[in-house]
A and B are shown apart, each in its own frame.
Chain A
Amino acid sequence: MKILIIEDNQELARNIYEFLNREGYVCEVTHTFNHARDKLMSFQYDLIILDIMLPDGSGFDILEYIKFEKIESSVLIISAKNALDDKILGLDLGADDYLTKPFHLTELHARLKAIYRRKNLKGDNIVGFNEIVLNTDRMEVRVNEQILDLTKKEFDLLLYFLINKNRVITRQSIAEHLWGDYTDNLDNYDFVYQHVKNLRKKITAADGKDYIATVYGLGYKFNTQTK
């Protein structure tokens, strides 16, 4: 997957670039409106990560440009503004999702994947690792061909792990991913522990390997290197 990162803040752009690069995506970074337009004119991207506030223009103008030029890239907006109007405007202009800063990179990654799955309907609805196969269309998980009875939250949690394999995922980011704003006022993430515990139990009960490891003090990691 080829991604264009349009973000004026160089450090933030570098964060995203490094994270996605390690996942094996081909990433390009641009910091200005004009440069971004030049890139869009000359190259093709599967996905664009777009900041709204650019030094020489607005991200919304880029969206209009993409629409006008019939460029077939998906767009994920990353904005510091948590304003409803901006979200609606962005989505109306053809953006696929809207993520508010400060976001977790794992969350950004999950959103990218989700957009990508939605856009590419040709069989890309299967996410899996070894014996675990997850079908995002049917909301179905099989472990060793055996269907797993998961709740919606557990399904989302497993998908989040599978997308961010071998990444340390904090409890905080899991909480935000699964419950969104509803965790804003909560000061501990014990409920995350409960959900992860249940998910692990269900996978091992179906003779799946326990790939999910606890990273002490931080969160969890879907470890593909377990014996």
Chain B
Amino acid sequence: MRLLNKFTLWYLLITALVLPAGGIIVFKMVQFEIVHEESHKLKDTVKLIAKKLKEGTSVEAIAGYQVTINEWKMDRPELPLKVIDTLAWFEPHNHNERVLKTVASYKINGKHYFISTFNYIGEPDEIATGVTRSLTLISILLLFLVVLANWLISKRILLPFNQTLQAIKSFNLKQKGHMKLAPTSTQEFKELNLFLDKMTVKALEDYRNLKEFSENASHELQTPLAIIRGKLELLMETGITEEQAAFISSIHNEIKKLSQINQSLTLLTKLENHEYEAHPINLSNLINHSLTAFEELIEMKSLKVEKEVEENVFVRLNPFLADILLKNLLSNAIRHNVENGSIKVALSSSELIIKNTGNPPEVPLEQMFKRFKKTNQSSSSIGLGLAIVKQICDLNHFKIQYTYENALHQIRLGLL
């Protein structure tokens, strides 16, 4: 849910709680004010009538609608002024209406007058209806304004925030120079931008360092390996025994492996850093070329090759990576094959399938793409070939699947 919608919802929730409470308060206040004011008025009326009577105005001249003046016996005690809240029949509406009545008796000029005056006032339910209606109108107005404000605020106040979000989304470690963030006057956004700026500068720096390190590590390792290899070659010329030759030979193999691991790890790092640009390449030609390069190795194992390669299948892939991809897949299909086995290579515009005979895998298939995982842990391969293949596929959005069925290893590469 969007931040602003969340704010709005909470705001509306609070409003929904406050408005009814406000309604009750308004209702009570209005009710009180009406009764209070009306009572006051009626009391003053009674007092005024008493005053007029005292001045000698005749009863007939004063009494009338809503004012009643009766004569009471002198011996009755004076009735103090009081207000009565009651109901009375209201002829025009043909039902009882709320009535506020003030009564009092005064002994004036030797006579005892009972004075009563009343007025119809609004009933509580009528006030409640009024309050409810106005609150409903307020709610509608509020809702409308909140939605409008939401829209405007998201346009104005949250603009720098959204710009920052956009900048983060498009941030790329390979870019040169740091992230450009729009200036803002909001304190929180300022802090956020400051923090992001610091973080991305650090990330870029770390990335550069790591890249530099992997490049240097590769360089620094290859040179000593070259020295060792050269020294061994010179040593081989010095009249060595068969036993020594065997040692030298195995050292040679390990040097080769070291160098390969080194190069493969550098390649994986470069892949992770997206350092290879993709171009459209003719995969059909490349497959034919790779198969030719492996011809002798295939013959050595007396493998039967079935080829169903569609002509001119183009994919977007870096040529160097395409070469490595095919080399790794085909050499796996040859190496993990059995004598007199078979390899089937099928390429269409949608997929590349390489099937080969071979011993059943000893590790779960889903682990085959992990680094340093091998079907046979004791084999002398370095176990990075498929990890590189996987990385290349992931990078180019090819779906890769490894299955083992009917004694056939199958690698399927979705090219679309």
A residues whose Cβ falls under 8 Å from a Cβ of B: 9, 11-12, 15-16, 18-19, 22, 53, 78, 80-82, 84, 100-106, 153, 167-168, 170, 172, 179, 181-182, 184-187, 190-191, 194-195, 215-219
* Interface pairs (26), CB distance under 8 Å: A9-B223, A11-B231, A15-B226, A15-B230, A15-B234, A18-B234, A80-B223, A81-B215, A81-B218, A102-B255, A105-B230, A105-B234, A153-B296, A170-B233, A185-B327, A185-B335, A186-B334, A186-B335, A190-B300, A191-B296, A216-B245, A217-B246, A217-B248, A217-B249, A218-B245, A218-B246
- CB of A182 within 8 A of CB of B229, answer no
Known A81-B219, A182-B294; 7 more pairs at CB < 8 Å: A12-B223, A12-B230, A102-B259, A106-B233, A167-B233, A184-B327, A185-B327
CB distance from A221 to the nearest CB of B (A): 9
Q: Would you give the shortest CB distance from A142 to chain B, in whole angstroms?
A: 25
Selecting from B85-93, B344-352, B377-385, the interface stretch reads: B377-385
Query: Chain A binding site: helix, strand, loop or mixed by DSSP?
Result: mixed
- Cβ contact within 8 Å between B252 and A172: yes
Minimum Cβ distance to chain A for residue B294 (Å): 6
Sort A-B residue pairs by CB-CB distance and give the 7 closest, nearest first. A15-B230, A102-B226, A80-B222, A102-B225, A217-B245, A80-B219, A185-B331
Number of A-B pairs, beta carbon distance below 8 Å: 121
Whether A218 lies near B248 (C-beta < 8 A) is: yes
Known: A18-B234, A19-B233, A170-B249. A12 touches B328 (CB 8 A): no
In the bound complex, what is the Cα–Cα distance between A198 and B114 (angstroms)?
Answer: 146
User: How distant is the Cα of A219 from the Cα of B320 in the complex, in angstroms?
Assistant: 31
Say yes or no for B126: interface residue by CB 8 A criterion: no
Verify B226–A218 contact, CB threshold 8 A.
Answer: no
Chain B's closest residue to A9 (CB) is B223
* B74 adjacent to chain A (CB < 8 Å): no
Q: Taking CB as reference atom, which chain A residue is nearest B228?
A: A102
Closest to B264 in A: A184
Chain A contacts for B263, CB-based, 8 A: 82
Q: Give the secondary structure class of B's interface.
A: helix
Interface check B297, CB cutoff 8 A: yes
CB distance from B286 to the nearest CB of A (A): 13
- Return chain A residues, CB-CB under 8 Å to B260: 184
Residues of A within 8 A of B234 (CB): 15, 18-19, 105
User: Which of A9, A12, A170, A185 is B252 in contact with, Cβ under 8 Å?
Assistant: A170
Please, how many residues of chain B have a CB less than 8 angstroms from a CB on the other chain?
A: 47
Min C-beta distance of A82 to chain B, whole Å: 6
- Closest CB of chain A to B66's CB: distance in Å? 107
User: Using a CB-CB cutoff of 8 Å, which residues 356-411 of chain B contact chain A?
Assistant: 379-381, 385
| CB <8 Å contact, B327 and A182 | yes
Decide yes or no: A9 and B227 within 8 Å by CB, A80-B219, A168-B237, A172-B252 being known contacts: yes
Give B contacts to A, CB under 8 Å: 215, 218-223, 225-231, 233-234, 236-237, 242, 245-246, 248-249, 252-253, 255-256, 259-260, 263, 266, 293-294, 296-297, 300, 320, 327-328, 331-332, 334-335, 379-381, 385
Query: In this complex, what residue of B is CB-closest to A184?
Result: B260
The CA of A97 and the CA of B246, in the complex, are separated in Å by 32
Instruction: Decide if A187 touches B379 in the complex (CB within 8 Å).
Output: yes
Residues of A within 8 A of B228 (CB): 102
Chain A nearest Cβ from B401, distance in angstroms: 21
Chain A contacts of B381 at CB under 8 A?
Answer: 185, 187
Contacts of B218 in A (CB 8 A): 80-82
Q: Tell me how far the C-beta of A54 lies from the nearest C-beta in chain B, rounded to whole angstroms.
A: 12
- Decide yes or no: A53 and B227 within 8 Å by CB, A191-B296, A216-B242 being known contacts: no
Q: A12-B223, A185-B328 are in contact. Are A179 and B237 (CB under 8 A)?
A: no
CA distance in complex: A191, B331 (Å): 14
- A103 near B226: Cβ-Cβ < 8 Å: yes
Tell me, rounded to whole Å, the shortest Cβ–Cβ distance linking B179 to chain A.
27
Q: Are A168 and B300 in contact, CB atoms less than 8 angstroms apart?
A: no
Q: Which of B229, B331, B381 has the largest number of chain A CB atoms within 10 A?
A: B229
A184 to B380, CA, bound (A): 11
Distance (whole angstroms) from the CB of B233 to the closest CB of chain A: 5
A167 touches B226 (CB 8 A): no
Residue in A closest to B221 when the chains form the complex, CB atoms: A80
**CB nearest to B328 among chain A residues:** A185
Q: Are A218 and B237 in contact (CB under 8 A)?
A: no
With A18-B234, A102-B255, A106-B233 known as contacts, the answer to whether A187 contacts B335 (CB < 8 A) is yes
Say whether B245 contacts A215, CB under 8 Å: yes
Q: Which residue of B lies closest to A82 (CB)?
A: B263
For A18, the closest partner residue in chain B by CB is B234
Q: Establish whether residues A187 and B380, one from each chain, have CB atoms under 8 Å apart when the complex forms.
A: yes
Residues of A within 8 A of B219 (CB): 53, 80-81
A185-B332 contact in complex given A15-B227, A15-B230, A101-B226, C-beta closer than 8 Å: yes
Select from chain B the residue with minimum beta-carbon distance to A178: B296
B296 to chain A: which residues have CB within 8 Å?
153, 179, 191, 194-195
Cross-chain contact A218 with B236 (CB below 8 angstroms): yes
CA distance A20 to B233 in the complex (A): 12
Alpha-carbon separation in the docked complex, A134 to B296 (Å) = 23
Contacts of A105 in B (CB 8 A): 229-230, 233-234
Query: Which residue on chain A has the smallest CB distance to residue B247?
Result: A217
B327 CB → nearest A CB, Å: 6
| Set of chain B residues within 8 Å of A106, measured between Cβ atoms | 233
* Distance of A48 Cα from B99 Cα, bound (Å): 121
User: Nearest Cβ in chain A — how far from B283, in angstroms?
Assistant: 18
Instruction: A69 to B322: give the CA distance in the assembly, Å.
Output: 40
